[in-house]
Amino acid sequence: MLFRTHIVFSLVVYFLLSYILEIPFWVLGFVLLSTAFVDIDIKNSKFGNQWYFRPLQWMTKHRGALHSLIFALLLSLFIGIFTLWGCFGFFVGYFSHLFLDCWTKSGVRLFWPLKFRVKGFVKSGSWVEDIIFVLLLFINIFIIGKIFYFQIFI
Ligand SMILES: [Zn+2]
């Protein structure tokens, strides 16, 4: 899936979780950071074009180890050494990224190192993804609109 789709989806997940939990606003930074982070294993992603990610890209294929639950957990736990909310936010962003990629035709090796791939029917960058993106964008506009409406009028 494209960078923009991951961002709008993570935002929706964050807002929905904020309804249930009292999440500090800065945690959103961790959510967005991690959702963008997962695709550094491919050269033509938003941040993957940085030279310092090249060695990592030689080591792992796109949608390889980095696109797995075990890495989501390990990296989140590492962040948890410094901040628990950061750990939570990082995992939420990471998981939402993996969840979306599971719907793509090329799929994700969610349980890496197992070879098994979780696959869907959406082609990355296709019109189906465009529709998903627009829908998620509207949900965000609706939620953000609601938050500001209540902040102004209550
Ligand atoms: Zn991905």
Task: Give the chain's domain count.
Answer: 1
- Asked if pLDDT for residue 79 goes beyond 70, the answer is yes
Report, as an integer, the average pLDDT of 74-97.
97
Residues whose CB falls within 8 Å of the CB of residue 9, separated by 6 or more in sequence, listed in order: 35, 96, 99, 100, 136
- Alpha carbon distance 63, 2 (integer Å): 13
pLDDT of the residue at 56: 81
Q: Place 29 in a pLDDT band, splitting at 50, 70 and 90.
A: very high
Rounded mean pLDDT, 124-151: 92
- Give the structural domain span for 45: 3-153
For ligand 1, the distance from its centroid to the CA atom of residue 45, given in whole angstroms, is: 9
pLDDT (0 to 100) of residue 46: 81
Structure confidence by residue, pLDDT tens digits, 30-65: 999 999 999 998 887 888 888 888 888 887 778 888
Q: How confident is the model at residue 81 (pLDDT cuts 50, 70, 90)?
A: very high
- In the reported structure, the alpha carbon of residue 115 is separated from the centroid of ligand 1 by a whole-number distance in angstroms of 17
CA of 82 to the centre of ligand 1 (A): 26
Binning the chain into helix, strand and coil, the percentages to the nearest 5 are 65, 5, 30
- The token pair at 32 is 């967005």
pLDDT at 21 over 90: yes
pTM higher than 0.95: no
Which of 15-19, 54-58, 86-90 has maximum average pLDDT?
86-90
154: confidence class by pLDDT, cuts 50, 70, 90: low
For 93-126, what is each residue's pLDDT tens digit? Answer: 999 999 999 999 999 999 999 999 999 999 999 9
Give the mean model confidence (pLDDT) for residues 76-96: 97
Cα of 63 vs centre of ligand 1, distance in Å, is 6
Distance 154 CA to ligand 1 centre (A): 40
| d(C-alpha 132, C-alpha 43), whole Å | 24
CA of 2 to the centre of ligand 1 (A): 8
